[in-house]
Structure 1
Amino acid sequence: MDKGFWKAGHPPTLLSAFLYFDLSFMVWVLLGPLAVHIARDLGLTPAQKGLMVATPLLAGALLRLVMGVLVDHLRPKRAGAIGQLIVMAALAVAWLAGVHSFGQVMLLAVFLGVAGASFAVALPLASRWYPPHYQGAAMGIAGAGNSGTAIAALFAPSLAKAFGWNAVFGLALAPLALVFLVYLAFARDSPDCPPAKKLSAYLAVLRDRDAWWFMFFYCVTFGGFSGLASSLTVYFNDQYGLDPVKAGFYTALCVFAGSLMRPIGGALADRVGGIRSLLVLYTLASACLWLVGRDLPEAWMALTALVAGMLWLGMGNGAVFQLVPQRFRREIGVMTGLVGMAGGIGGFLLAAGLGYSKQLTGGYSTGLTIFAALALLAWVGLLSVKQRWRTTWGAVHIAGARV
């Protein structure tokens, strides 16, 4: 990262956006690492387990659009503060009152979706401070907060074993409160925030076919990342008989790989162009997911392939968001919400699909293979728009950056 990057924007806001995103994502996927314990105590089926870990992803996806609207109308900092208070209140109620049925855990899952909607706040909060040629790096650093999913996988199973899984909801409140105070103290809205639009203007962007392409591309990259982050603890437990703590460690390795590579993917896209990066990354990610879907005989083999797959998906997340601000800079709030919504829906489909794949076929191969095919379809789609993008809005003299 060159020195000009740190002078171009507002580092305290970038750090605040990262921390807010990080802890929100930790909570967003919290039911995944706890799923083995919860399913055992509540007597859930494989399909119910898949639906339980997938529901926060779907709720977060839909709420991202709502948060995108709030970002443009209330500005990012205030919208983020509201979201954090709702999540902390939901966790406090779950901790103090307890969760005793599948219905109650599903209700909590919906509220945890508010944490997933942080995506639509943290990225524009950081992005609006930086010029076009630093968008990949800025969005990558803020977006690296998805490493919070690794924190959940690493610590939640051990805490559940020591204190009970319901206590984990209360323990999560401490770091959330600390980050909330940091956020209030250091985050600042950019003076370049565009004026709020009428609600009809948010629907207008959907008439642009490029918006749908970006939604599909992120549905694959972030959908793969978030769906696997929520499901891998259950996968390693079911497929290889690992205990929840060890399965959580394996999941954390995979998620750390994807999270740490997101800013690298954004910076790489700044250097060589987001399109070129994504063409390579979709190919590699598809190959890794297809390999895992072949039911590898040893857990370490699956772990190796999944770490590699998450690396490419994480880099792909950064590359997609190097492109989005170039095409929709004035609509970045609503586009972040729309693209983030599509990513969450992709995660829901993958996580729920893995659960149903296990219940209907006895394994996870079908679900993984279908998603690998979806990554190849994204590759074909990107190839089909490459020439048009590079000769219209993506021309260097227009975008001000490589696409």
Structure 2
Amino acid sequence: MINWEEIMKRIYLFLVLIGILIIFVLGGCVSQQQTGNQTPVKQTPGQPSIEQPNVKLSTENYIVDDKEKTLYLFTKDAKGDSKCTDACLNIWPIFYREKISVSSGLNSSDFGTITRTDGNKQTTFKGWPLYYFSSDVKPGDIKGEGVNSIWFIARHDYAVFIADKDNLKFIVDAKGNTLYSFNKDQPDVSNCKGGCLKAWPVFYAGNIVAPSIMNNSDFGVITNSEGSRQTTYKKMPLYYYVNDTARGDTNGHGVNDAWFIVEPAAKGLSTPTQNASSAIKVTSFPQSAHSDTVVTIKWEVTGGTEGEISNTAIIWGYNSAGANISEYPKATMIQTGKTPKEFSAGINIPSSGTLYFRIHAVVDGSDIYSPENQVSIIQQTSSY
């Protein structure tokens, strides 16, 4: 006998299974259609993350690390090696990064690495070792700026810096190369010409930024006789020396008793000024004279409130001193009096050359000078 009830159950289960299968198939198609309209995100295997700079510029334009801690330079490191050792490092810890990455405004090529005498490595900027200051606590602190006039914040735009070596403190360029002055120069006038410039090339920087103990306004620019632009400091034209082969060298100091390093505290060159109420007039001197004779020079001193002449004399030499009054090596006997008064003095002429002279007077306690004059010397010829 046929069991219709059992057959109906099987048919029912079969239809249920068919329905589930249809729902599954249709659902998969819809899902595939939806995902097919989406753009998959592409990822490049091994793509590196963007490297953050570990050296950058602060908002005030000085160099800091990636945590905004200020970095410093030490004037005694002029030669490029660190002179801060032992206990000094407790106050001025070294800065070192194995790999330097810089922010905008800095050049990675300006940074380098030295190995210190203690074996540790230290990062440098333009050859100057970099340090922290232990008293800088907060990001942006600059408590080490100007300490003892030998520690300064590291700026990327220094045009000049200060070196401190062998008890000499002098001006160098941003990379530690020594700068010089020439005592034959006049205020804002270079007298180094032709072959002189081959041995003493000019220093020029368009925009001067100097350490804080110096005034940027003390620097200027002139055009020399060759048409080259040249930086001056307190009206002194600045030069390099060709025989300085390494940073911090001072081989030009004292050459020919005419070339010298430039100290930050140098007085510089200035044109002699006349006391407004007094004056010197050279009234008589020969334009030329024979050698081995005595030349007589006459002058008059006038003016002054009290008119007290406490000192007047001829200052002279065989080389032009220009505006550098102190460069005249000789002087005649001091004379005194009250204005107006005429004076005269004699000078023994040497066998050859040119005699350069000024008249100096002190009127009512103020120094006044005449312009520089000169006497050409004619060599005596034998009558035999």
Q: What range describes the TM-score normalised by the shorter chain of this pair?
A: under 0.3
| Greater C-alpha Rg | 2
Task: Select the structure that is richer in helix.
Answer: 1
Normalised by the length of structure 1, the TM-score is 0.20
TM-score in terms of structure 2 length: 0.21
Relative contact order: is structure 1 or structure 2 higher (C-alpha 8 Å, sep ≥ 6)? 1
More strand by share: 2
